[in-house]
Amino acid sequence: MLDIRQIRKNPDEYKKRLGTRGVEPEKIDALLEKDKERRDLLVEAENLKKQRNDVSTEIAKAKRNKEDATAQIEKMREVGTRIKALDEDLDRVEAEEQDIASRLPNLPNPTVPVGLTEAESVELYKVGKPTEFDFEPKNHWDVGEDLGILDFERAAKVSGARFVYYLGAGAKLERAVYNFMLDEHAKEGFTEVLPPYIVNAASMYGTSQFPKFKEDVYQVNGEDMTLIPTAEVPLTNYYRDEVIPTEKLPVYLTALTPCFRSEAGSAGRDTRGLIRMHQFNKVEMVKFTKPEDSYDELEKMTKCATNILDKLGLPYHVITLSSGDMSFSAAMTHDIEVWMPAQNKYREISSCSNCEDFQARRSHIQYRDENGKLQFVHTLNGSGLAVGRTVAAILENYQNEDGSVTIPEVLRPYMHGMEKITLENNK
């Protein structure tokens, strides 16, 4: 949620910067019109309430003096009727203003590359050379199906498209990957959390999935409950409507959860494999920080995510997304993309975002500054990493000509010393 006071002061600046995210200037005008209407109604209502209090005092005085108060009583009835109408108008206008404001994305940081598509994103650095083979590499789904560790066909029978069964060594590999990630994040100071997987609408609103992105999630019919699209939702809402003790900041939380997404707008994209699923595992990182520390914490969070890829020996690059390609709540996002040999390109495996105070305003998460004044915290979130995509990258980058897959060394202790996945040892 943006600060309406700042929009009032700098409407042209907000129009300019939000315009880089595809927001039409008329949306800002509409918000300011509703804001003015609300404030005018509030002033009129408050004046009438003061007048009603004054008339009530006059009536009480008249009654004490045994004087006729008929005129004052009639006047108070008229004022009361007008106040009731104003309060109804105020409720309506506040709801309309809130609806407009809740659909405006976060203001991009001034240093974010300007552009409406991913083409304007800027590469920060590369690590590792793209994996090369002396044979034609297979897509990860073919590697997995040939080894009998991934079964998309039976998952489609049981659940539908974009679901998968992990089998034998495939299930062990997935488990090894997320346990390794959680252990690494614990070393970096994150507190591991096992959160709820179903949340209410207030939580979805707090992290800004609602109201704009309701079509992207799975909701429980007849209930105010939603399957989480990411652990960002329950982790960030942990402190909703609270004041975090200043001495606790920064707070680092991490969680492994399943994530559920309808992928409503992705028809025809990544219809095979583990890249775009309706259900997948992800290790999430969330931070609560003081405003002055949040961008340093963004760089640290990005390093936490790339550390996983470094230790797995997977080639990747880091890019700063353009203003129009960031998520709704982000002020700046670093995307990490891992090399996928069969596709001959980098694919996203993590997004690390600084939301500044955008989510904290929606969720009312605050702390007290050095003067004891309440301020909104800054929230950050990042994938550390998307587990299925990491498994896909391992299958493609560590595949061998005979169809086996070498296990990265750091994962072998999590797989009881297994060095390769073959048809023979897939149990």
Write the CATH number for 146.
3.30.930.10
Catalytic residue (choose from 82, 103, 175, 276): 276
| Beta strands 405-406; 420-421: pairing state | antiparallel
pLDDT for residue 284: 98
Q: Considering the domain boundaries, does residue 80 fall inside one?
A: yes
Q: Catalytic site residue 118? A: no
Regarding whether 219 and 361 lie in a shared domain, the answer is yes
Point out the domain boundary residue: 39, 68, 103: 103
Amino acid at residue number 70: T
Of 401, 395, 410, 408, the closest CA to residue 148 belongs to 395
Regarding whether 170 and 92 lie in a shared domain, the answer is no
Q: Catalytic site residue 208? A: no
Q: In the beta sheet, which residues pair with residue 368? A: 374
Q: What is the largest CA-CA distance in the chain?
A: 107
Regarding whether 91 and 132 lie in a shared domain, the answer is no
CA distances for 136 relative to 109, 239, 395, 406, 422, angstroms: 43, 50, 14, 17, 18
Domain that holds residue 87: 4-103
Q: Considering the domain boundaries, does residue 288 fall inside one?
A: yes
Regarding whether 279 and 192 lie in a shared domain, the answer is yes
Residues making up the chain, counted from first to last: 427
Regarding whether 27 and 171 lie in a shared domain, the answer is no
Q: Catalytic site residue 353? A: no
Q: Considering the domain boundaries, does residue 350 fall inside one?
A: yes
Q: Catalytic site residue 38? A: no
Catalytic residue (choose from 351, 353, 363, 404): 351
Q: List the binding residues.
A: 230-232, 261-263, 284, 348-351, 381, 383
Regarding whether 122 and 88 lie in a shared domain, the answer is no
Point out the domain boundary residue: 77, 103, 129: 103
Q: In whole angstroms, give the CA distance from residue 187 to residue 196.
A: 24
Q: Catalytic site residue 261? A: yes
Point out the domain boundary residue: 76, 103, 130: 103
Q: Considering the domain boundaries, does residue 270 fall inside one?
A: yes
Q: Considering the domain boundaries, does residue 427 fall inside one?
A: no
Regarding whether 134 and 53 lie in a shared domain, the answer is no
Q: Considering the domain boundaries, does residue 108 fall inside one?
A: no
CATH code at position 50: 1.10.287.40
Regarding whether 157 and 11 lie in a shared domain, the answer is no
Catalytic residue (choose from 37, 96, 120, 348): 348
Count: domains in the chain: 2
Predicted TM-score (pTM) above 0.75: yes
Regarding whether 149 and 284 lie in a shared domain, the answer is yes
Regarding whether 316 and 243 lie in a shared domain, the answer is yes
Catalytic residue (choose from 21, 52, 261, 362): 261
Q: List the binding residues for ATP.
A: 261-263, 348-351
pLDDT by residue, tens only, the chain of 427 residues = 899 999 999 999 999 999 999 999 999 999 999 999 999 999 999 998 888 887 777 778 877 877 877 777 778 788 888 889 999 999 999 999 999 999 999 999 999 999 989 899 999 999 999 999 999 999 999 999 999 999 999 999 999 999 999 999 999 999 999 999 999 999 999 999 999 999 999 999 999 999 988 889 999 998 999 999 999 999 999 999 999 999 999 999 999 999 999 986 666 677 799 999 999 999 999 999 999 999 999 999 999 999 999 999 999 999 999 999 999 999 999 999 999 999 999 999 999 999 999 999 999 999 999 999 999 999 999 999 999 999 999 999 999 999 999 999 999 999 999 999 999 887 7
Regarding whether 122 and 91 lie in a shared domain, the answer is no
Regarding whether 92 and 62 lie in a shared domain, the answer is yes
Catalytic residue (choose from 17, 38, 362, 389): 389
Q: List the binding residues for L-serine.
A: 230-232, 261, 284, 381, 383
pLDDT for residue 79: 82
Q: Burial letters for 91-121: b for 16+ Cβ neighbours within 10 Å, e otherwise?
A: eebbebbeebbeebbbbbbeebbebeeeebb
Q: Considering the domain boundaries, does residue 178 fall inside one?
A: yes
Q: Considering the domain boundaries, does residue 349 fall inside one?
A: yes
